[in-house]
Structure 1
Amino acid sequence: MKKANFYIRFLVNHPVLMVLISIGIPLLLSIVTFVNLNLSTEATSYGDPDDDRTKNHMALTEAQQNIEKTTTQIAKQSVSYYPFVILYEGKDKTSNVFGDEELEFILDLEKEFIQVKNYSFHCVLENEEKECEMPFSMIPDLTREKPTTAPTEPYEYPLFEYGEEIKEGRSLSTALDDQYENQRLLFGSDFDAGSQEGRYLRSIFYSGLPLEGYTSQYDRAYDQKKIYSEWVSWALDVVEKFKEKNKMNVWVGGSWWIVEKELNSMLLHDYLFLSISFVFVIVYLWVMTKSGFLASCGMFHIVLSMPFGIFIYNKIFGIQFFGSINPAGLYIIFAIGADDIFIFLNTWIHSRLAGKHTIESLTTRMQWAYPKAAQAMFITSVTTAFAFILTAMCPIVEVSVFGIFAASLVITNYLFVITYFPAIVIIYEKYFSHHHCCCCCSAPRSIPGGLLPYESEQGVFCSPFTFNFFRLFRSSKNNCEIQKGNINWDDLGAKNNASDENTKGGDKVLIGDRNKKSKRKTSHIQQQLSQTNSSYIAMNKKDFELHSVKNNTDTNTTTQTTANANADENSKTRTMSGNEKDLFQSILQDPEGAFSVNKLKMLDRFMYSYFSKFLTHKTIRKVLIVLFTCLTIFFLIQVIQLGPATKTPKDFPDWSNFENFNTILKNNFESTEESLLIIDYTFGLKTFDMSDVNTYHVNEKGKLVYDTTFDLRPTANQEYFVQLCESAFETKNLLSKDFNECIMSDFKNWVGETNFPVVDRGNNELAQLMKNFTESEQGFKYIRNVDYDEKSGDIKFISTFFKTPLNVDLYSAHKYLKIEYEKWVKFESKMQKNAPEGMQISMFSSGGWFEWMRTQEIFVITAVTGAVSSVILAFIVITLTTKNWIIGLLSVTTISSIIISTIGFMKLIGWELAVIESVCVTVLAGLTVDYVVHLAHAYHEFDAPTRIEKVQGSLYAVGSSVLSGFVTTLGSTMPLLINYLITMNKFGQFLIFSLVLSFLYAFFFFIPLISVCGPRSRHSKKFLSGNINFKSDFFKKLFRLSKKDKDNVENEVLDSDTSDYSSEDDKL
């Protein structure tokens, strides 16, 4: 055995120091990060920053904000903002909200609502009287007072003057038709004018900005929003108070801050369920490792991966935006972290069977196990991390940062599992493995997690932090004999030698088939394990005597044994731990005295003896390959039909206030002004330059670029603008019915036919008249649509808005928005053909809706490119690490099938590519490569004459780890199914069915496939063997044991010339 390198020796000799270093530095960096945390949930851009639709929207937004910044002072609470809508719904379909009791309930609610603390500091004030404007409500109330800064003045509702007439029998609808036609929008579509009955009614309370002490709504906007948010909390308390009376259903909405309150409540509920995942993972780790110490320490580094991942995310990558779906990465790291723990422990267990030189000491065991585990975890971690990082190609920042954050967690977890956790295992072996519980001191304890490859005959476990109740019901007589050292080593050796003789002919009676007495040919791995056991017993016989004599009270015997031990020091014996005694006990109680499949851990025994035989059966494997190939083709047909969302996705559950409010509003009320798609048509703006902007930095903004050729002063240009407005009015289906507003047409009417177009003689006559118009009552609605140059005084840009017939509350899906977008592209192209000089550059935007349409398109593109790129990356990594292109090809074939099947299953259950669905598809490859990569790497590493035995060896090596990782991931994601938010709930569903499909394809498609088509030898130079000979083996250098050590541990595998192996794959 070559001398171990410095790192291995340091790890084994100073494990406590290694733990302090590997945990202390990340912990310190995490603390510093959180002290100086620079994260925000507000992004620079939520769309594609390189798309013209995004630039147009941001350009107009920035231009309008500049108007507010340059305005000296906007009247306090003069701009309507943040509507607070109260929607009333009858309890059932026959309910009437216009009944006497129902109206009294509504009156009382609204009366108390306007008395909410500081209501007068948030309502919209009338320009002259500086009093609160009347809420948009249809409820007549003779006793209510009007809310003002002086709340003693009488308050009249719109129907006050009709109150007596309505009581006398005059229909409410007649009163509406007289003066309040627009207020018909407050009634539900089911309102019956004849019977004056209906199930739905709404009232709207507008808030006004800027608040007192602020110049505009953009002046310290965050502070104003915070003040309004506090007031919303008080208002919601009033509504909740009346909800408890249960007279009718009351829903509220209209403002983001109302939605935010409910969203925060649901997020708190959902994050609490993260603790269920935490508990499940740690309990499962405890059960599988049979050690509270290992489970707790392993879970500690998984949890620490999160703050350290944020350090990498925020400080190394420099990302300041933290997306709303980033917390979903925590569920992913729970699963990946536990999977890596199982891989390392499984490799550590198997180091016991690697050969007599490997088990000489903890250093030699770690020297054997560490590079293998580190390389196996490196392959999966790199593949998974890069698959996540590939999402950074997505221009949608929300998707991009999620992938980078998830990759950061994967990277940090890998760093911990190759530095911190190996030291924890050494600490366990040195200080805990030989200790007994106080409740089972009379019995030897089994190894945590089976840190030996065999199970205890007792079938129970006892470890630090574990109380062994099962021991109370079991006999400990034989165990006590074992502890006292009463082992007949000669009998043990004789049994083992006899077994060796019996196996020389190639046949032996397997313990698992003892009742059948059937004879089978000894497999490659069985021969290795049997030979290892023989050498292990011979080497440790005197060690066991030395350890056992400590429990013997006979002084003479003690002296005798001690002398024998001293005499054998030259034989390099060592003191045995309690773990090794359990191994000897297991072998001693085996009548055959040799390798016994029955003595393997239950999962290893299942994988080795039964599962591998089932998967590699001559007929079964072919059936499985055909079955999963047909399944992939079926799902591929579904994938082809998948496209952008055709309906607005839900974000909240059906029972939530938000979902009920929106559903009722869309289905039972006429469209209000806020519901229609608004198009802003602009001259004077060229673009919004974001070429130097890092979209991950929340404080960086682009630069607004004005059109320097724009000039509205020529009379021909003014007439052209009016012509554009008239053309829009006349174009069929372009604008909503009866809409006829346009800034230039209204300006023309304001100045008069005789004074239009305005002749500008160089004294800014046009600009001055336009400013007077926008400050007048007729043109005040356009005050944010015109800006002026500070030096010349000329009009810098001008914009007008058009209302389209599209109700975006109902039809915001891609196909509807695309129809409207194409209409306006065609209209703009038509108008630009005849545009005079100075008006040839124009743009239109839609308040972000066309930006959202482009985002939906990007989701589809990113999902496809991300999946394809991840598959290509997986092929490169697997091929490089295994140095076999056949294994790489079979692996990516399986991974591609998993991706296709998962996406196809999404279509099958009715999902469409909205936000969360597109995110899922984009990161899919990162979630599905692990199982296949583990099995592929294990197949390559295990050297055996036939494919069947290579499959058998790979399942024995990592099968139980993959299964444990599957169970852990499944259990940790289950709490997502009971989350309130649809986004997180869907993400949980996606994780589960992608996980199940990954597991099924890895075992029931990849294993049969590689047993038929996989390479047989790692040493053949033939092209069809798939082996690739690199001059420089990067991965071997990366994980080599020492600088001078080019060979693996001796007796790791019984290598031989396998180039002429004959296939025995079908003999099973």
Structure 2
Amino acid sequence: MSSVERATTKVAGWYVRQPCTCFMGCLFVMIALSGLSAALGYMNLMTREDTWMILDGEMTQHFRAFRAARDSVREEYDTTTNEAKDTESERLFFFYKTDVEGTGTLFTPDRLLSICELEKTMMVNNSLVKAVATADSVLSLFYGTAADPAMQSVPAARTISSYDWSCQKLSQSEVDNVVNIMHTDLASKGPASLYARFVDPHFRNTSQTAYSRTFAEFEVVPKQHEKTMNPAFEHLGLSYGFLRSAFQGDEDRFVQSGDIRVRVTYTGINEIQKMALPDFGLSFISVVLVFGISWLHMKSSFMALAAMIMMILTLPIAALFYQGVFRIEYFEFLHILVVYLVLGIGADDVYVFKDTFCHVKKAEFPFAKPGRLTEEQEIRVLALTFQRAGTAIFNTSFTTALAFASCSVSKAMPMRTCGWYAATCIVTLYVLTLVYYPSAVILWHRRLQSKRCCCPSLGERPMAIVPEGATKEKKVDDEVPEESGDLVEKFFERFYIPVMSKQFGGVRIYALFLMLLLLGVAIQGIAFAMQLTPPRSEEVWFPGNHMLLSIQDFMADNYYTPSFDNYAIVTIFFGIAGLDKTGIQVYDPGAFTGTAIYDNSFDLTSSEAQTALLDICGKVQNITCDLQGCDNSGYDKKTFLMQTTERTDACFLKDFQTWLNGPLPTGTNFTTQLKTFRDTANVGDYYGDVLRKEVNFKEDIGFINGELKYVAIKFRSVMKKRLPFSIGTEVRDMLREWTNGQRGQLPGSLQSMKFHGNGEFQRYDMGEELINGLFSGIAIAMPISFLVLLSSTQNVVVAIYAVLTVGSIVLCVLGFCKSAMDWDLGIGEAIAGVIVIGYSVDYVVHLAHMYCEAKHFGHQTRDERAKFAIRNMGSTIFAGALTTMLAGATMFICFFYFFIKMALLICVTIMYSFLYSLVFFMAVLWLAGPEYSFGYLCLPKWCTGDSHKEHEVSIVNKDIQETNAEEVVNKAKEDRWHENGEISEQELDEGTRSIQVP
């Protein structure tokens, strides 16, 4: 007896002799560990800033380096930086529309009155709003008052800061007067008009607008930012419900309010965090479905319940190791997906273990009369189950865990940690399946097997009795029925195997046809997968009627000039060499920005450097851009700089020159006077609404400890915020090329010239990393899968077939994303790519392992080995695939479109995995699978496990002897069926099976 056999026999003895103690002990430990995990606050969803940033990305480092330098400046001049604020700033947009079709005009007395009644709920009748910092409201044009009475006749000069919000109904002539002034100004100035952001593109020709909008920035009570919107929600008839957001409107994403339609956006509610918990709650439906399938497959509610308890407790137990032991302090809504992985993979593990136990029992002790085994027999069966099921489950668990662990190469921290948590859960499932589930199997076998009533007695079943003269070699007579398999097993035995093994002229024509058919599908999958591109549009997270969906496109399409706040500020800075990342927390990168590394050669005191910087300020105005991401279609010259009647570029050196009203000084005098300008100048004297909030002389002219460390110039671009990856990267690359070209013309003191887009460009670092991480993960996971397959099968040919099958599955799923759904390679697809590898290897590994295992049972030809694999693993794979698909399908009713996409991808992945493993892979094995010893590695006996061969051959001899008995059994069963019309339930569950041992 080998060391493995001795160890498994010893462990099996513990479970057999004390099954209740082992079961309750394991259950108690699992519950205790889960309780500890919950008590420590693990698995709580976290909301942290900048978690998706790529710290090694060029644009990310530029942005964070500038922020770090700016924070250092703030520490000197802002003594309230570290003090707790008594208010929080939040931003609100109201978008207005006449009707569903967008006809007529909003500028009527009745509709303006409706707008006023709505905005009053936020502006004055809201106890949680402490101040209105900014109110860029369409109402100011009609109800507002100019600060300078002489400018009252100019609607653009009016504000509502002093309005009493009486909301009186205006006369038609008052409204028409304002509309005429707006039309005249916009007709002459075009997009540069200050009225352009309040009207739609048709206003210039018709003097009518179906759309308008209001923007406001509030100072609200801390921790009450969500409740701040309640008055507006009540006015509009909106509210949160189960799987429904208050921001969901009608099909046009508006809701009716009197005689106007309204659309709202508000920054004070974290929509993702608020709606993630209801989606997480849907996993309960998955649990119920998996329980039902498990009950049907294992024919035992007890076994199904024990399995569900194990799967559910796996999540907090794995979190205990993930967060407590490994100290990975991050858990967000992306990790919710792991629930569905655990349900699918956990079900597969228990199916394999239970089915292996039954197969071993049938082969080892084929008694004439059904019943439970003796302790010695149970030990024997359980020990063999440990050896064979343990190996099969280890192969799939190890490969799947490594597929998820390949996320370690990703620089996106949420992707990396989600992969680690998934791998931890899979390993935990493997351990619990072999530690906790065996005792459940023994209890079921002794007390519950074959008992069909809802509340069976828990007494032990009678012992199985061998009739006098019966031996292991002669196990049946014509009175003993063979167990009738379920529908799935009948399908494999009566249809699948005959079709796949059918030969015409020495060729298995059906297997060849199916292989060629799926090979063609794989080729088209490759073709479409190669067409996947980075996102061409903004990533969709919400349902189609959500008000936040495609808000940038909505504003661009329906307003003459969208609000300037929706266009990116680009900052060009000098004096910062890079970013020191020391001290940045890996799992909370937003908590500490890092430390700026300053350029020691930076110097602006020379006339040469000053002239060069002023030259850059001038050239910024002439940057041209004809790319899709530059919204300058109404401009005579396609500039990257926004064109309005106000200044849209901020050059502090020009402002300093104006302040001096003379030439720029040099040397120490320059530094002294520049610091005075920085501390005393008023931004409002130089800039209007377009840039006033973005310019801060104290932060743009970076004096630290009295020394000028950096400077920055800014401008409002025509690049809309949150552009999709493929469009935004073109703009970034254009600006990078321009910057590199200008740097070569600058003096040595200004060579540290860099730029950032206030966080816009750093998002594209993340997009690039997701794409690179996907292919890097595949490049790592595929070779690892091959090595595991080679180790499992010890056959090079089978391992190559298997890994090619896995590759086909991955490419087919990615191709489906393009061919059927026309998706891009976004976050969802990148995550799916990792999930696909994890799922696709599972079934292929099972079949490959069984095919090669058949050699040790005396099966030498490819036909015998293929049948052996299907008979042992076919029904198990079917049940596992069905369970995983149903578990994932519950996400179809989730709130987030991301989860709906994941549901589709999981189902498609399982579909392709099922087809390619049972059809393509098995067809290849039936056609060209290795026979006899072909393709096997030359390894020592102790490594190959041939020490077990003597026992296995004895089973083979038994199986051969059973062949003749099988005919007798079938004949006896057929006769009894014709005579009685039925076979007992006990015979259905306990009769002799022809399926061999896995």
Q: Same fold (TM over 0.5)?
A: yes
| CA distance in structure 1 between the partners assigned to 2:573 and 2:167 by the alignment | 40
- 1:16-69 residue CA offsets vs partner (Å, 9 max, x unmatched): 332344343343333333333366331554232112211111112223333334
The letter of the residue matching 1:231 is T
Q: 1:186 and 1:697, CA in 2 relative to 1: closer, same or farther beyond 3 A?
A: closer
2:937 aligns with 1028
* 2:474 aligns with one of 513, 531, 534: 534
Deviation at 1:106, TM superposition (A): 1.5
1:543 aligns with none
* 1:683 aligns with one of 551, 574, 582: 574
Deviation at 1:822, TM superposition (A): 2.3
Deviation at 1:465, TM superposition (A): 7.0
Q: Are positions 1:72 and 2:63 aligned together? A: no
Determine helix, strand or coil for the equivalent of 1:47: coil
1:35 aligns with 39
Deviation at 1:196, TM superposition (A): 4.7
1:921 aligns with 833
| CA distance in structure 2 between the partners assigned to 1:466 and 1:245 by the alignment | 64
2:495 aligns with 610
Alpha-carbon contact 2:346-2:429 (below 8 Å) kept: yes
Alpha-carbon contact 2:671-2:708 (below 8 Å) kept: no
| CA distance in structure 2 between the partners assigned to 1:364 and 1:756 by the alignment | 94
Deviation at 1:404, TM superposition (A): 1.4
Alpha-carbon contact 2:569-2:757 (below 8 Å) kept: yes
| CA distance in structure 2 between the partners assigned to 1:462 and 1:182 by the alignment | 80
| CA distance in structure 1 between the partners assigned to 2:161 and 2:861 by the alignment | 96
1:441 aligns with none
2:954 aligns with 1051
Alpha-carbon contact 2:183-2:204 (below 8 Å) kept: no
The TM-score normalised by the length of structure 1 is 0.76
Determine helix, strand or coil for the equivalent of 1:607: helix
| CA distance in structure 2 between the partners assigned to 1:241 and 1:139 by the alignment | 28
Alpha-carbon contact 1:636-1:900 (below 8 Å) kept: yes
The letter of the residue matching 1:967 is L
2:686 aligns with 778
Alpha-carbon contact 2:678-2:701 (below 8 Å) kept: no
Q: Are positions 1:865 and 2:776 aligned together? A: yes
The letter of the residue matching 2:327 is G
Task: For 1:290-301, list aligned pairs within 5 A.
Answer: 290-301=299-310
| CA distance in structure 1 between the partners assigned to 2:958 and 2:796 by the alignment | 22
Greater RCO, 1 or 2 (C-alpha within 8 Å, sep 6+): 2
1:384 aligns with 400
Determine helix, strand or coil for the equivalent of 2:443: helix
1:128 aligns with none
Deviation at 1:898, TM superposition (A): 0.8
Task: For 1:967-1046, list aligned pairs within 5 A.
Answer: 967-1017=882-932, 1020=933, 1025-1031=934-940
Task: For 1:13-52, list aligned pairs within 5 A.
Answer: 13-37=17-41, 40-42=46-48, 45-52=51-58
The letter of the residue matching 2:790 is T
Q: Are positions 1:798 and 2:809 aligned together? A: no
Q: Are positions 1:167 and 2:174 aligned together? A: yes
Deviation at 1:674, TM superposition (A): 2.1
1:620 aligns with 510
Alpha-carbon contact 1:976-1:988 (below 8 Å) kept: yes
Q: 1:989 and 1:927, CA in 2 relative to 1: closer, same or farther beyond 3 A?
A: same
Q: 1:342 and 1:828, CA in 2 relative to 1: closer, same or farther beyond 3 A?
A: same
Deviation at 1:589, TM superposition (A): 5.3
Determine helix, strand or coil for the equivalent of 2:597: strand
* 1:807 aligns with one of 716, 720, 734: 720
Q: Are positions 1:250 and 2:262 aligned together? A: yes
The letter of the residue matching 2:453 is C
5+ residue gaps, structure 1: 126-132, 145-151, 212-223, 434-445, 448-460, 468-482, 497-530, 538-586, 591-595, 1058-1068
Q: Are positions 1:935 and 2:847 aligned together? A: yes
The letter of the residue matching 1:207 is F
| CA distance in structure 2 between the partners assigned to 1:890 and 1:16 by the alignment | 44
Determine helix, strand or coil for the equivalent of 2:517: helix
The TM-score normalised by the length of structure 2 is 0.81
Alpha-carbon contact 2:138-2:198 (below 8 Å) kept: no
Q: Are positions 1:731 and 2:623 aligned together? A: yes
| CA distance in structure 1 between the partners assigned to 2:959 and 2:496 by the alignment | 27
| CA distance in structure 2 between the partners assigned to 1:486 and 1:684 by the alignment | 86
Deviates more, 1:67-76 or 1:414-423: 67-76
Q: 1:745 and 1:289, CA in 2 relative to 1: closer, same or farther beyond 3 A?
A: same
* 2:824 aligns with one of 901, 909, 912: 912
Alpha-carbon contact 1:938-1:958 (below 8 Å) kept: yes
Determine helix, strand or coil for the equivalent of 1:657: coil
Alpha-carbon contact 1:139-1:159 (below 8 Å) kept: no
Deviation at 1:113, TM superposition (A): 2.6
- 1:591-610 residue CA offsets vs partner (Å, 9 max, x unmatched): xxxxx5x7334433332343
1:894 aligns with 805
2:223 aligns with 226
Deviation at 1:95, TM superposition (A): 5.1
2:383 aligns with 367
Determine helix, strand or coil for the equivalent of 1:361: helix
| CA distance in structure 2 between the partners assigned to 1:676 and 1:143 by the alignment | 28
Task: For 1:613-762, list aligned pairs within 5 A.
Answer: 613-617=498-502, 618-659=508-549, 661-669=551-559, 670-690=561-581, 693=584, 695-697=586-588, 702-733=594-625, 735-738=640-643, 740-757=648-665, 759-761=667-669
The letter of the residue matching 1:865 is S
* 1:7 aligns with one of 8, 11, 25: 11
Deviation at 1:1036, TM superposition (A): 5.6
Q: Are positions 1:305 and 2:314 aligned together? A: yes
| CA distance in structure 1 between the partners assigned to 2:944 and 2:682 by the alignment | 71
Task: For 1:156-555, list aligned pairs within 5 A.
Answer: 166-167=173-174, 169-170=176-177, 172-175=179-182, 183-192=194-203, 196-208=207-219, 226-240=223-237, 245=257, 247-253=259-265, 255-258=266-269, 260-261=270-271, 263-264=272-273, 266-356=275-365, 361-433=377-449, 446=450, 461-462=452-453, 464=455, 532=472, 534-535=474-475
Task: For 1:105-144, list aligned pairs within 5 A.
Answer: 105-118=114-127, 120-124=129-133, 135=137, 137-138=139-140, 140-141=142-143
The letter of the residue matching 1:1053 is V
Q: 1:72 and 1:690, CA in 2 relative to 1: closer, same or farther beyond 3 A?
A: closer
The letter of the residue matching 2:133 is V
| CA distance in structure 1 between the partners assigned to 2:494 and 2:816 by the alignment | 33
**Identity over the aligned pairs, expressed in percent?**
19
Q: Figure out how many residues of one structure are paired with residues of the other and give that number.
A: 879
Determine helix, strand or coil for the equivalent of 1:123: strand
Alpha-carbon contact 1:722-1:744 (below 8 Å) kept: no
Determine helix, strand or coil for the equivalent of 1:760: helix
* 1:85 aligns with one of 93, 97, 100: 93
- 1:372-393 residue CA offsets vs partner (Å, 9 max, x unmatched): 1111010000100100110121
Q: 1:60 and 1:1035, CA in 2 relative to 1: closer, same or farther beyond 3 A?
A: farther
Deviation at 1:697, TM superposition (A): 4.8
Alpha-carbon contact 2:538-2:550 (below 8 Å) kept: no
The letter of the residue matching 1:676 is Y
1:830 aligns with 741
5+ residue gaps, structure 2: 147-159, 240-254, 367-372, 503-507, 626-638, 961-998
Deviation at 1:308, TM superposition (A): 1.1
- 1:673-701 residue CA offsets vs partner (Å, 9 max, x unmatched): 22223211111222122267552355565
1:500 aligns with none
| CA distance in structure 2 between the partners assigned to 1:755 and 1:158 by the alignment | 53
Q: 1:611 and 1:755, CA in 2 relative to 1: closer, same or farther beyond 3 A?
A: same
Deviation at 1:97, TM superposition (A): 3.0
Alpha-carbon contact 1:22-1:420 (below 8 Å) kept: yes
Alpha-carbon contact 2:408-2:419 (below 8 Å) kept: yes
| CA distance in structure 2 between the partners assigned to 1:979 and 1:196 by the alignment | 44
Alpha-carbon contact 2:61-2:579 (below 8 Å) kept: yes
Deviation at 1:101, TM superposition (A): 3.5
| CA distance in structure 1 between the partners assigned to 2:555 and 2:927 by the alignment | 60
The letter of the residue matching 2:91 is P
Q: Which has the larger radius of gyration?
A: 1
